[in-house]
Structure formats: structure tokens, C-alpha cells
Amino acid sequence: MLFGRKKKEKEAEISARKKAELLAEKAALQEEIRKLEEERRKLEEAQKQKEPFVVPEMEAADLENYAIKLKIEGRTEEAFACVQKAAEKGACNSQYKCGEKALENGDFEKAAFWFQKAAEQKHVSGAFELGKIYLFEESKKDNVKAYFWLETAELMDCRYSELQEYIEKANEEGLGYELSEFAEFDYEVGKMFFEEGIAYGSIQVAKKRLSSAKSLGHKKAAELYESVERKLEKNDPYFIVTKKYKGNNAGEQAANAAREYFMKRQFKEAFELYRFAADYIPEAKYMCAMMLIEGKGIPKDTDGAIFWLEKAAEFYLKKAYFPLAELYYEKNTPEALEKAKLWYKKAAECGDLDAKAILENKF
């Protein structure tokens, strides 16, 4: 009996020892597998790094978003490759970033190329940086171009504190044999803004530019300046409105008055007031666009409507997105359709069901 119990205890002990040995072997095997798996993963990662990164085929806006994701992951080179591809597809923010990168690398030729691409799409900082390149960099020095792009930045509401100082420097350095070119530039800009008229509130800008050209002895500018003066004195509604509404709440005052005129179907007066208020209030920018689309108070003007809807969209006025997309879609050019898709997307992201349906069916 005693012998039998000892035998069982001995067998249990052997079994426990074998079990422990098996568990230890299993653990060692699992550790070996883990190490092999880790080695395999490292080899795959190393292989991936050796393979050249291929920028995926995406639209410009999607490429910009993908670039942000890659940058967060620390893949800066791949991120910039996506930015560059987006720039080539016409994304102005990416074009500006390419300009910045080229500037960091001391490649002023390429920097000027990308900044100009961005500036031509109304990218204020692009115009500003391009002006500085032409003003300060010896290899690209061109005071007339510097003056042009710095003035362009100012006309696009650039708020850089040092901008005026740069413009004056470009002007001073450009005097002499380039004087006539400055005068001609001011004349052309003044004429352009004069012809745009009230729809863009451009009469005051025209007066400033023509005055500059006139002071430099430009005869045509002097003649056109007189026309501007007569227009302002006699019948320019925008000028009259600016005299009536003053102070910090001038925009609100004008917008309230515009609504009253609109309700009375006095559209001409309503538009004049909305145009004044548009310098202060996003909603007024939107109303200017709607009245230009419908031709209320002013002749129909699709480009003018796009201008004001984009201004409203810059202030994230969501209801501007869909009509802006529609106007671009109606233009039916490759560039316009690309912009239409962008604004339909923004409208859809804000919950516009019509925009979602159009994206599904037309793009």
C-alpha cells in the first residue's frame, strides 16, 4: 500500500517535471518565433525604404490631405512629394509651399516660379514673397516686377506691416530710366479698376493708381483721373454711401438699410448699400453675389458673382459654397470643373444633399 502511494507520487513528480519542461520549451519556441517575426518585419521595413516612394494618383485637395498625414507620421520627404504633385495640379497653397521650400534651398528661380503661380491665383503671401525676391535678391533683381507684385499684394488686402516700406523702397530704387514703366503700370491698374466700376467697389482704387501715374507725368492717366473725379462727385453711389455711413458699425448700418431697400424691391439702392457693407460683413458679400447672379440692381455678372462668393467663402460662410460650385460648373472648362468639384465637396461636407448627389452623379 505504502509502496503503491510512493510510486504514484513519483510518477506525478515526473509528469509535473515533464510538463514544466514542455512549457519552458514552448515559451522558448514562442520567443524564437517572436524574434523571427521581428526580424522579418525589420527586413520588410528596410525593403520598403529602399523602394522609391510613388505619389498616389489623387486629386489636388486629397493629395494635400495625404501630405499632412505623411508629415504627422514623420515621412517628410514623401509628404513634400505629395505637396509638389498637388502644386503641379494647380493647388495654390501647395504652390506657395513649394516656393517656400525652394527659398529655403536658395533656389530663387524656382521660388519665384512657384510664388508667381500661387500669386496668380490670388494667394496674398505668394505675391508678397515674389515681390521681395525681385526687390532683394541680386540674381532676380527687378524693381518694376517687385513694385508690381508688392502692389498686387496690397490690392489683395495684404496686411503685412512692412509691406508699404517695401513698396516705397521698390519705388525709390526704380526711379530714373524705369520711371515711365511705373507710370504705365499705375495707369493700366487704374484703368482696369475704373472699368470694373461699382460691382467691385473699385473706383477709389482707380483714383489712387491714376493719381500716382499722373504725378509721374502720364498724360492718359491725368485725363482718366479727371473722369474718375467727375464720377465720384456726380453720381457714384458707393462714394455717396461712404459719406453717409461712418464709424465702427458702418457696415451693419449699411446692411440694415440694404435689407429695407431690398424688401421694397428698390434693388439698385440695395446693391449699392450691400456693396459698401461687403467690406465689413460676409453676409453682404454673399448678397452682392446673389444680386449679380440675378441681375438685380446691376447687370448680370457671373465673374463678379464668383468674386464675391469666394470672398464670402474665405470667411467660411457655408451657404456660399454651393452657388460658387454651380457657377464654376456652368463655365465647363477643365480648370473651372476642378474648382466646381472642390466647392461641391465643401458644400457636401457641410451637409448639402444636392451637392452630395451631384458629386455622385457628375464626378
Residue that terminates a domain, selected from 262, 286, 307: 307
CA–CA distance from 363 to each of 65, 323, 324 (Å)? Answer: 19, 17, 16
| Domain assignment present for 59 | no
pLDDT score recorded for residue 290: 93
Residue that terminates a domain, selected from 307, 324, 346: 307
**Residue 291 and residue 333 in one domain:** no
pLDDT digits (tens, 9 = 90+) for 152-169: 776 665 444 455 666 566
Per-residue pLDDT band at 95 (split at 50, 70, 90): very high
pLDDT digits (tens, 9 = 90+) for 195-243: 665 455 556 667 777 887 787 677 888 888 887 776 665 555 555 566 6
**Residue 299 and residue 323 in one domain:** no
Nearest Cα residue to 197 out of 235, 144, 146: 235
| Domain assignment present for 291 | yes
Share of the chain above pLDDT 90, in %: 17
pLDDT(170) > 90: no
Nearest Cα residue to 124 out of 147, 94, 157, 98: 157
User: Mean pLDDT for the chain?
Assistant: 79
For residue 309, the tally of other CB atoms under 10 A from its CB is 29
Torsional sign, CA 85, 90, 91, 97: positive
| Domain assignment present for 343 | yes
CA distance 194 to 222: 13
Q: What is the CA radius of gyration of the chain?
A: 33
Range of the domain at 324: 316-363
Nearest Cα residue to 199 out of 87, 107, 278, 90: 278
Identify the residue whose cell numbers are 506657395.
96
* 3-class secondary structure, 162: coil
CB 89 within 8 A of CB 121: no
Interacting residues of 183 by C-beta distance below 8 A, sequence separation 6+: 212, 213, 216, 217, 218, 221
CA distance 204 to 247: 19
| Domain assignment present for 347 | yes
**Residue 302 and residue 323 in one domain:** no
pLDDT score recorded for residue 175: 43
pLDDT score recorded for residue 219: 81
Cα angle 333, 336, 337; round to 5: 80
pLDDT(112) > 80: yes
Number of structural domains (the chain) is 2
**Residue 285 and residue 336 in one domain:** no
How far does Cα 130 stand from its chain's mean position? 16
| Domain assignment present for 134 | no
**Residue 256 and residue 291 in one domain:** yes
CA distance 259 to 252: 11
Per-residue pLDDT band at 189 (split at 50, 70, 90): confident
Residue 325 burial (CB < 10 Å; 0-12/13-18/19+)?
buried
